[in-house]
Amino acid sequence: MAPPAGSPELQAELARIAKQIVANGKGILAADESTGTIGKRLSSIGVENNEENRMTYRKILFTTPKGLEESIGGVILFHETLYQKDNEGKRLVDSLTSRGILLGIKVDKGVVPLFGSQNEGTTQGLDGLAERCKQYKADGCDFAKWRCVLRIQDNGRTPSPQGILENANVLARYASICQSEGLVPIVEPEILIDGDHTIEVCQEVTERVLAAVYKALSDHHVYLEGTLLKPNMVTPGLDCPKKATSAEIANATVTALRRTVPPAMPGVTFLSGGQTELQATENLNSMNVLPQELRPWKISFSYGRALQASVLKAWGGKTEPENVNNAQKTLMHRATSNKLAALGKYEGEEASGAASESLFVANHSY
Ligand code: 5MM
């Protein structure tokens, strides 16, 4: 087996970035909704999906005062946001970089059907990726994200060997290209929560998928110390009649990870995948109160919906300072709660308002 690729200097730089993002309970704000996806989020509060409104919303997120950098180590951006300026001509991302929050960029070009498969897909975007990564690095990014989507059907009949192999390989190829250009790749093989499968089936499928991903990363000489993993938690399918407790989810998830993810990989930054904000925080905490020897990696968050849903509601698309303040306070509260959960110190909160609402989006594969 050949050693991981990259000079000692490149490897040191990649390892430093990956560690920094998840240091001291910090996690990631996934704000990389593509234009179509952010449109759905904005329409939920009656806001038109145009460039000005996308800028206004993301400026509110990024200018959240008083210590966002204590709980958010990195923000994942969509291409437009990286270059977007506010009405005073200031780059939106300056509010992040000035506080030491690292910039990440979504580099995949979305999910497409795998012809001949059983309703499965793969993610495209490898063409020209090295050139795009080079430019993003020059423009201030330190990490990247690529999301693959797998679906459990018929009690684990899918994902099929074809679906698993294809998605593992494309993630590995993406990771290798990112590292060659100095970007830490976040490797995201999301197994959707859709379905009526049990937690046991989800665990078995998650293990098969992660085992294939780490085999492919090894085959492509990816330097694991300079990567982050963004997986789903192991849960029952949303329509499974048998629900699981947070402790059961934590045990099943950490067991699946221990069987498949090498300790050289520094940080697991979970996606929320349609869980409520409170579930996502509670489940994260339950993993981080398990004995330390079961967790060789940092266990943290890279939430999209579970960090933003109640922020959007609090803002409501209004320009009044009160709404903007409420939105920013809400983001601070969720980010701080998740930091506490990443340290195993979250003590729960009132299950009221937007934080306890379902964030499920059927077939979230776009
Ligand atoms: C924020 O949404 C990300 C981009 O989605 P699209 O490509 O569909 O527009 C998405 O990849 C997100 O980072 C992950 O799905 C995790 O988000 P959740 O909401 O599951 O935590």
Q: 203-206: which pairs have CB atoms within 8 A and are 24 or more residues apart?
A: 203/234, 203/252, 203/253, 203/255, 203/256, 204/156, 205/150, 205/152, 205/156, 205/159, 206/231, 206/232, 206/234, 206/253, 206/256
Quote the pLDDT of residue 353: 59
Dihedral angle at the C-alpha atoms of 291, 293, 294, 295, nearest 10 degrees? 100
Q: Which one is catalytic: 33, 166, 181, 188?
A: 188
Phi, psi of 171 (to 5 degrees): -65, -40
Of all protein residues, the one whose alpha carbon is nearest to atom 5 of ligand 1 is 33
Segment 215-238, tens digit of pLDDT? 999 999 999 999 999 999 999 999
Q: Which residues pair with 104 in a beta bridge?
A: 76, 143
Q: What is the tens place of the pLDDT at every residue in 119-131?
A: 999 999 999 999 9
Task: Report, as ranges of residue numbers, the positions in the chain whose pLDDT lies below 70.
Answer: 1, 351-354, 356, 364-366
**For ligand 1, is residue 306 a contact (CB within 6 Å)?**
yes
Atom of ligand 1 nearest to the CA of 366: 8
User: What is this structure's pTM?
Assistant: 0.96
What pLDDT is attached to residue 121?
98
Q: Is the CB of 173 under 6 A from ligand 1?
A: no
Q: Give the separation between CA 175 and CA 53, rounded to whole angstroms.
A: 33
Give me ligand 1 centre to Cα 145, in Å. 10
pLDDT above 90 covers a percentage of the chain that reads 93
- The alpha carbon of 57 and the centre of ligand 1 are apart by a number of angstroms equal to 17
Cβ of 303 below 6 Å from ligand 1? yes
Q: One of 145, 230, 298, 339 is an active-site residue; which one?
A: 230
pLDDT digits (tens, 9 = 90+) for 120-177: 999 999 999 999 999 999 999 999 999 999 999 998 899 999 999 999 999 999 999 9
- What separation in Å is there between the alpha carbon of 362 and the centre of ligand 1? 13
> Does the beta carbon of 305 sit less than 6 angstroms from any atom of ligand 1?
yes
- Ligand 1 atom closest to residue 106's alpha carbon, by position in its atom list: 4
Q: Three-class SS of residue 176?
A: helix
Question: Mind giving me the DSSP string for 73-93?
Answer: EEEEE-HHHHH-B-TTS-BTT
322 labelled catalytic:
no
Which residue CA neighbors atom 3 of ligand 1 most closely? Answer: 33
Residue having the nearest C-alpha atom to atom 17 of ligand 1: 304
Q: Which atom of ligand 1 is nearest to the CA of 274?
A: 20
Q: 32 CA distance to ligand 1 centroid (A)? A: 7
Atom of ligand 1 nearest to the CA of 31: 1
The reply to whether ligand 1 has any atom less than 6 angstroms from the CB of 34 is yes
Would residue 188 show up in a list of annotated catalytic residues for this protein? Answer: yes
Q: What is the pLDDT of residue 18?
A: 99
pLDDT for position 41: 98
CB-ligand 1 contact for 124 (6 Å cutoff) = no
Ligand 1 atom closest to the CA of 147, numbered from 1: 11
Both tokens assigned to 18:
């990956």
